[in-house]
Amino acid sequence: MVPELSVVIPMYNEQEVLPLLVERLRPLLDGMGVRYEVVAVDDGSSDLTAALLQRYHREWPALRVVRLRANAGHQAAISAGLVSALGDYVVTLDADLQDPPEVIPQMLAAAKDDGVDVVYGVRNDRSTDTWFKRASAQAFYRLITVMSQTKAHADAGDFRLMSRATVDAINSLPEHNRVLRFIVPALGFPSDTVEYKRDERAAGTSKYPLIKMIRLSLDSLTGFSTAPLRMATFAGLGGAVIAVLLFLYTLIARSQGHTVAGWTSTVAIVSAFGAVQLVCVGILGEYIGRMYAHMQGRPTYFIAYDSLTAGHGDHGPT
Ligand code: UDP
Ligand code: MG
C-alpha cells in the first residue's frame, strides 16, 4: 500500500548521529498515525553507516535503505531518495538532527489544511550556524536573487515537504547538478512555510567542507542565471572603452613627444586585462561544463542496493 508520508534522509558517514536519529524519529513517526516510510539514502559512506542501516532496517521495516555506489553529493542523494520515495507527501530531512523531526507533523498538517503542494521549513534562528556560514549564505542569497528570477526563501534549506505532484515534477527534470532549494520554488507550486529553530548538529562533523559549499554556489548560479555570461560581455565592453581612451591618450602623448616612462601603467593595464579575460573564460567554462555533463547524459548517481527490491544496478535519471 502506498504510504501517505515518505521521509527522505541523505547520509554520508553519519555513524555517530544515526542511533540518535532513529531514536528520535521512530517514536515521532509511529505517533503520527499515518502510514509512512523512511528512505535512508546512504551516499557512498565509508564508515559504519551502511552496516547500521542494515541493522535498523531489520528492526524497523518502515526504514528502507538505498545505497549509492559512490559519494554523489547531498543534492544527488536527495534526488535518488525522491525517485525512490513512494509517499503522497515527501519530506527531505538532514540526518544530523539540525532539522528537528518534530516539525514534520506541522508540515503535513499545513499541506493538508491549506491544500498547498510545498511547505518550506524556514529557520527563524540561525545562531547555531557559524558566523562565516551565516554571512556567506546571506551574501550568496542576495546575489542569486539579484541575478536570477528565483524567489527562494533566504532562510529555507533542504528541509521541506513536497506533494506527489511536486516530486514527480522534480523527478522528470533532466537537469544535472540540480540545486533543489532553487528548483522547487521555480516550479511554482502553491506553498506555505513553517518556521523552526535550526539546532546544532547532534553528533559527528559537518560533511560540507568549504569546497562543497563553493561547488553548490556555482551550481546554483549557473543553473539559474545567465547573468554571469552577460556580465562577461559587459566587462569586455567596458574594457574596450578603456582601451580606446588609453589608445587616444598614447597617440596624444606621442605627438607631444613624451613617449618614455609608463612602465607601471603598462604592467597594471596588461595584468588587469589579463585577469578580466581569465575570469570571463572561467565563467564560460562553468556553463560549458554544465552543457558537457548534460550532453554526456551520464547518471549523477548509481544505486548499489535498494532494500525495496534488494536489486542491484539501477541508476538515476540521465
Ligand atoms: N550529505 C550527503 N552527501 C554529501 C554530504 C552531505 O548525503 O556528500 C548529507 C549529510 O549526511 C547530512 C546532510 O547531507 O545528512 C547535510 O550535511 P551536513 O549536515 O554535513 O551539512 P551542514 O549542515 O554542515 O551544512
Ligand atoms: Mg548539518
CA neighbor of 232 nearest in space, from 190, 193, 286: 286
How confident is residue 218, by pLDDT bands cut at 50, 70 and 90? confident
Q: Tell me: ipTM over 0.95.
A: yes
| 164-177: b (≥16 Cβ within 10 Å) or e | bebbebbeeeebbb
Instruction: Tell me how far the alpha carbon of residue 276 lies from the centroid of ligand 1, in angstroms.
Output: 35
d(CA 177, CA 227): 18
Residues 184-189: contacts with CB under 8 Å, at least 24 apart: 184/118, 184/160, 185/118, 185/150, 185/151, 185/152, 185/153, 186/150, 186/224, 189/116, 189/117, 189/118, 189/162, 189/163, 189/165
- CATH of range 5-207; options 3.40.50.300, 3.90.550.10, 2.60.320.10, 3.20.20.20: 3.90.550.10
Inter-CA distances, 314 with 10, 44, 68, 206, Å: 18, 15, 10, 29
| CA of 299 relative to ligand 2 center, distance in Å | 26
- Reading the block at residue 118, the C-alpha cell is 510545498
The per-residue pLDDT for range 258-268, each reduced to its tens digit, is: 777 777 778 77
Judge whether 216 and 179 are in contact, CB under 8 Å. yes
In this structure, the residues whose C-beta lies within 6 A of any atom of ligand 1 are 10-12, 14, 43, 71, 73-74, 77, 94-96, 98, 201, 206-208
Distance 280 CA to ligand 2 centre (A): 34
pTM: 0.85
User: In the chain, what are the domain boundaries?
Assistant: 5-207, 224-296
Mean pLDDT, range 235-248, rounded to an integer: 84
